A and B are shown apart, each in its own frame.
Chain A
């Protein structure tokens, strides 16, 4: 399968602050990729590097087989908070979209606006957050991009608007097969729509892979208090919580865990992501635990 984005030791610093550190990824094309992590983890930075708005401090990246360039007709980008020109009407937005993009699909754009029940004459500044996001999405997809990047598109929306936005996005993906990379700090949004996941915490990539595979290889393990080290080879403890008598672990393992001492259960995407996030947050605790 071809890659939509390849990054090699990609690093971005703002002054002394590291926004993204040694990030190596290979994002396959044809997926809806969820880029998950807490606020300030480097999600926006990664997306802006991919669309060429930022230049890396170190490392390299290849986007759709070439170096990233701003203003590429092959990449659509919906920026955080879905900015639009408040004083321009929706129709004005579609007109400048048509003027600025050689690959512009005007029928698609106008049809979408009509289906969303939006009045083209309305000023964009008077739209609700959900409607504004839909206009921004329309502008991005009417370019007919090969890669669509979305930076926290639904974070500020109410649940209904969020659902409607994702419906529209998925409809377009179904029709066009566009690769999508979408960042969010809300895992629940991504659970249905993403089939590939990147977890970014504190400027580092924690885990990446196809959602299905991640779900199949991660397990909730509970049992009498155990030393995580004794689980056996090929098993990584992502998260461990202990009481005096019981241990509750999130374990990554390709082989099934059939030790009768443990009770093993599947894990949902949200718990999986949270386990990786808390792993990063509690890194020091885990070291201490190992020394005990």
Chain B
């Protein structure tokens, strides 16, 4: 069965592997250029207060073809599951059912379980390996940049580490399942695409539930960075503050300014200091800022930091693999009961 599976899968396997090896080669080959830029901008040698150099490095790196590669990297890993689901998963069983060849192979001395087991297991492992290779190359390549920008920002996160493996495996099994249910390759491919996009968008929203959130709370510092918005005609003198989150909060879930009681601060502001009719505290918004700083306000940020990256990766991959396993179990049940 292993031989037959390999013989049938050979073309797609070679094609997929070639593609991924090419991707990995490109990224491994250009990694030194990226490191050169880090060195040339002085970022590598920097030991303290490197923010300026870091942003200089990222800016330089992202401006040339490396910037394109950076974007393509995310695209490759976000698209990879869809490609695997469409071209490896969906046709795997659907094509056999369509052509009736399942009747040929099931009448060899082999059980359906073994037939499906080898196909799902073998190609599922290939999927995981190929996704892992691509993700490893890209994660390694982008790590100097990610170190600056953070690993857990939602879009970067899904294209790094082991999560791409989870999505690829889920896409593959979902493609197989849909192919088995629909018995039509093209229809299965279309629906697989929808399911994968759905799963990835769903992942975007559900991801934050997978780890405990960190909280940052501190009094508003004198030099706080951010924006103020108020409406001069508002008789209630309501005011809104937008304070920049701290660097540690890579993925900000919630960012608010609160009073000493813990309530969100909404004013009222003192029109003498803030607004167009302000007379005290000096020119422009400076007086308003100082007045606000003196109001004993706190910034409270709920976030997921870089330190949670691997916990999140393992948990999300775990969820995806469990979902894949459930689908696979369903496949075994279905093929025994419902397919003739």
Contacts and interface: CB of A to CB of B under 8 A. Distances in A.
Interface of A: 48, 51, 53-55, 70-73, 75-77, 79-81, 83-88, 92, 95-97, 99-103, 136, 139-140, 143
A234 to B, nearest CB: 42
A26 B109 CA distance: 25
Nearest to A76: B107
B109 A72 contact: yes
Given A70-B106, A73-B109, A103-B109, A96 B7 contact: yes
Contacts of A48: 340
A100 B3 CA distance: 9
Given A53-B107, A85-B8, 15 more contacts: A53-B106, A70-B107, A71-B106, A71-B109, A71-B114, A73-B109, A75-B107, A76-B107, A77-B107, A79-B104, A83-B100, A83-B103, A99-B3, A101-B109, A136-B104
Given A71-B107, A71-B112, A100 B4 contact: yes
B1 interface: yes
Given A79-B100, A81-B100, A83-B99, A96 B108 contact: yes
B108 A97 contact: yes
Residue of B1, B100, B109, B340 with highest tally of chain A CB at under 10 A: B109
Contacts of A72: 109
A19 B28 CA distance: 61
Given A53-B340, A54-B340, A88-B7, A100 B103 contact: no
A71 B110 contact: yes
Contact of A85 (B101, B108, B337): B101
A71 B100 contact: no
29 contacts: A55-B337, A70-B107, A70-B112, A71-B106, A71-B107, A71-B108, A72-B109, A77-B107, A79-B100, A79-B103, A79-B107, A80-B100, A80-B103, A81-B100, A83-B99, A84-B101, A85-B99, A86-B99, A95-B3, A96-B7, A96-B105, A99-B3, A100-B1, A100-B108, A100-B109, A101-B108, A103-B109, A136-B104, A139-B104
Prevailing SS type, chain A contact patch: loop
Interface of B: 1, 3-4, 7-8, 99-101, 103-112, 114, 337, 340
Contacts of A140: 107
A100 B105 contact: yes
10 A-B pairs closest in CB distance? A79-B103, A100-B108, A83-B100, A77-B107, A73-B109, A96-B4, A101-B109, A83-B101, A71-B110, A71-B111
A258 B100 CA distance: 53
B8 A88 contact: yes
B229 to A, nearest CB: 64
A136 B99 CA distance: 14
Contacts of B337: 55
A276 B100 CA distance: 32
Contacts of B109: 71-73, 100-103, 143
Nearest to A95: B3
A73 B111 CA distance: 10
Contacts of A73: 109
A99 B5 CA distance: 11
Nearest to B102: A83
Given A79-B103, A85-B101, A100 B110 contact: yes
A95 B101 CA distance: 16
Contacts of B100: 79-81, 83
Nearest to A12: B340
A86 B145 CA distance: 49
A176 B105 CA distance: 23
